[in-house]
């Protein structure tokens, strides 16, 4: 009942937005060529579907995002553990990674194209790079700021280093790691579009760019809405999962 109510509220709110959009698009304030009505966007979506592009773009983009996300987050967690736990890795990597952090993914696209061409590897590179930095930072931070009393309690209760690591350090850092993964997932989408806008021949980002050449704003809106829904869905999945993984944080 409660969740039905919630979904109902969301749908009601969204239909309000669509209604205002529709009225605005029909008014004389805007050129319908540049600002399509919801109906025109719906028809564009159907057209893309009939051309077989809607599904294949979605598929290609999701695969890129997923591969980049998994590579980046795996690396982020492993390097994060290393830099937080060993002095050598902290010394060797932290200053460099801190310099890398402010470089936006989009600035990396030209380099990625030169290095890896316009094929899939350049997308994986840009996405996993972005995800890696977010996950690394959160993992490192989470492991570095574990309450001393947890470690003291573990040691005075006779836990070995291995048990301390798996039963205290990892769960204590888990909320930060999970938050890093959630942020990483959102950034994976940003990096994905950045990588697809230039130098690619498929995917949601490419379709947006293609529509620009034909001034097909209706098709562009399809792409934007797709990205919005995907991102929101993904975030919802991550929030639900993190509630299960770090359940004690939500008591």
Q: Which residues lie near other proteins (CB under 8 A)?
A: 147, 149-150, 152-159, 163, 167-168, 171-172, 174, 246-249, 251
State the nearest-atom distance from the C-beta of 149 to other proteins, in Å: 4
Query: Which stretch of DSSP H or E encloses residue 114?
Result: helix 105-116
Q: Which residues contact 31 (CB under 8 A, 6 or more apart)?
A: none
6/152 with CB nearer other proteins: 152
Question: Which is nearest to 108 in space by CA: 96, 97, 122, 119?
Answer: 122
Distance of CA 234 to the CA centre of its chain: 8
11/167 with CB nearer other proteins: 167
Q: Which residues contact 160 (CB under 8 A, 6 or more apart)?
A: none
18/153 with CB nearer other proteins: 153
State the nearest-atom distance from the C-beta of 170 to other proteins, in Å: 9
Tokens of 62: 């999701």
State the nearest-atom distance from the C-beta of 156 to other proteins, in Å: 4
26/147 with CB nearer other proteins: 147
Distance of CA 116 to the CA centre of its chain: 22
154/187 with CB nearer other proteins: 154
Q: Rounded to whole angstroms, how far apart are CA atoms 129 and 141?
A: 18
State the nearest-atom distance from the C-beta of 81 to other proteins, in Å: 18
State the nearest-atom distance from the C-beta of 224 to other proteins, in Å: 40
154/211 with CB nearer other proteins: 154
Report CA-CA distances (Å) from 178 to 73, 181, 183, 216.
Answer: 10, 5, 9, 39
State the nearest-atom distance from the C-beta of 146 to other proteins, in Å: 11
93/172 with CB nearer other proteins: 172
State the nearest-atom distance from the C-beta of 179 to other proteins, in Å: 16
Give one DSSP letter per residue of 43-101, joined into a string. HHHHHHHHTTHHHHHHHHHHHHHHHHHHHHHHHHHHHHHHHHH-HHHHHHHHHHHHHHT
Q: Which residues contact 16 (CB under 8 A, 6 or more apart)?
A: none
Q: Rounded to whole angstroms, how far apart are CA atoms 184 and 174?
A: 15
């Amino acid at each position: 009942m409660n969740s039905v109510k919630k979904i109902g509220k969301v749908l009601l709110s969204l239909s309000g937005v669509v209604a205002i959009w529709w009225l605005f698009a029909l008014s004389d304030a805007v050129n319908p060529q540049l600002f399509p009505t919801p109906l025109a966007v719906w028809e564009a979506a159907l057209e893309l579907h009939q051309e077989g592009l809607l599904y294949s773009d979605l598929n290609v983009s999701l695969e890129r995002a997923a591969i980049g996300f998994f590579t980046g987050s795996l690396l982020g967690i492993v390097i994060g553990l290393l830099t937080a736990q060993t002095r050598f890795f902290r010394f060797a990597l932290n200053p460099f990674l801190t310099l890398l952090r402010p470089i936006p993914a989009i600035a990396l696209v030209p380099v990625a194209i030169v290095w890896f061409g316009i094929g899939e590897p350049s997308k994986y590179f840009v996405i996993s790079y972005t995800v890696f930095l977010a996950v690394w930072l959160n993992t490192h931070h989470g492991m570095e700021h574990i309450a001393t009393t947890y470690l003291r309690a573990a040691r005075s209760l006779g836990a070995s280093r291995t048990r301390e690591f798996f039963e205290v350090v990892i769960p204590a850092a888990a909320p930060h790691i999970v938050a890093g993964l959630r942020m990483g997932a959102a950034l994976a989408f940003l990096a994905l579009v950045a990588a697809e806008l230039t130098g690619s021949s498929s995917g949601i980002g490419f379709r947006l760019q293609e529509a620009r050449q034909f001034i097909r704003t209706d098709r562009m809106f399809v792409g934007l809405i797709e990205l919005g829904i995907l991102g929101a869905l993904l975030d919802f999945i991550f929030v639900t999962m993190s509630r299960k993984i770090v359940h004690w944080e939500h008591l």
